[in-house]
Amino acid sequence: MRSALITGVAGQCLDVDEVGFIRQCRPAGLILFSRNCSSHDQIRALVASFRDAVASDDVLVLIDQEGGRVQRLRPPLGRTLPPAAAYAALYAEDPKEACRLAGLTSALVGQDLKALGINTSCAPVLDVPVEGAHDVIGDRAYGTSPAQVAALGRAVAEGLEAAGVLPVIKHIPGHGRATADSHLDLPVVTTPRAVLSVTDFVPFKLMADMPAAMTAHVLFSDIDAEAPASTSAKVTRDVIRGEIGFRGLLMSDDLSMKALRAPIRASAEAVIRAGSDVALHCNGELTEMRQAAEGVPVLSGPALERYRAALRVANGSAAVDVAAAEKALDFMLRRHAAGVESV
């Protein structure tokens, strides 16, 4: 039995109340943030204690390690990583080389995560930003062309898989047009669906074979004027599972983000009712964690099968050319630094 919940925790070790909650709830996964990480040995111990409390090694352990602004592990805990925009800049000159280097550096990141017991990376970002959108995506994007975003995104995802790490594409069906940060408010996109179909949705269509995806807390008024994508059965059914054709494990974005204005339990119920397989709750507040757990079911049926398929990827073995990957990362960092200095 496994609860349809991925949870955060408060600190760098589990307290007795968290252990009790995890033993009772048996979440599908754990997501780590900078607050949870102080040393490599401590991270390994925290992950091991979570697995012990769940009474299984078969769990997802997630982290956001995109590079640039969004990487929870920074030196000395993790390597300095360039933002997605650095690969986009190289793609303009040499698409094949940009994809090759993105794949190599992603594999290196995956290997580093795997060594800490982390088997899932919430990457790549497949959002396509447009002029005038909020900069919450910004340089996290792999370009402004849907085909380019998909090409680089696939290279990153395949690099993670080469390291035996599960990639999670985000934020399906697209966050690039959002005029607000969904951590703070609900973004509303009024663009007609016909336009979205040939722009924002395209990278996700091209990567619909991926094993896991994270939904967007964005309201697309031409599709569902009442609910954001993450809590919209219409968006999930007609767009994510329908037009896009995504068949992998679908998780919500964080339930504690301000874009969702309902109480935590109601938000958990809403994302599951809309069609997500698992709900994600990140802030580590135990009272909220319990409320989220009350709003989700035990994994079963197709959701359980998709979870098991994701676990098979997350439990894969590594095949990484470390020397080539380190050379690729060094090149990208030097190139990106030179570009920043020239601005």
| Tens of pLDDT, residues 103-127 | 999 999 999 999 999 999 999 999 9
Domain with 182 in it: 3-342
Range with the lowest mean pLDDT among 26-40, 173-187, 279-293?
A: 173-187
C-alpha 228/C-alpha 128 separation (Å) is: 18
Per-residue confidence at 343, pLDDT binned at 50, 70, 90? very low
Q: Which residues are catalytic?
A: 183, 253
In this structure, what CATH number is given to the domain that contains residue 247?
A: 3.20.20.300
Give residue 182's pLDDT: 66
- The torsion angles phi and psi of 50, rounded to 5 degrees, stand at -65, -45
User: Locate tokens 């807390």: which residue?
Assistant: 217
String of b and e for 311-330 (b: at least 16 CB within 10 Å)? bebbebeeebeeeebeebbe
What does the pLDDT read at residue 46? 98
Does residue 241 have a pLDDT over 80? yes
The rounded distance, in Å, linking the Cα atoms of 343 and 341 is 6
> How many domains are contained in the chain?
1
Percent of the chain with pLDDT over 70: 97
Cross-strand partners of 70? 67
* CA separation for the pair 77, 12 (Å, rounded): 14
For residue 239, is pLDDT > 50?
yes
Q: Quick one: CA torsion of 6, 10, 11, 15, rounded to 10 degrees?
A: -90
> Could you tell me where the beta strands, DSSP code E, fall in 92-189?
120-121, 166-167, 169-172, 188-189
Task: Give the predicted TM-score (pTM) of the model.
Answer: 0.95
280 has a pLDDT exceeding 60? yes
Checking if the pLDDT of 258 tops 80, the result is no
pLDDT score for 208:
98
Mean residue pLDDT of the chain comes to 95
**Planar angle of CA 332, 333, 335, nearest 5 degrees:** 65
What type of residue sits at position 10? A
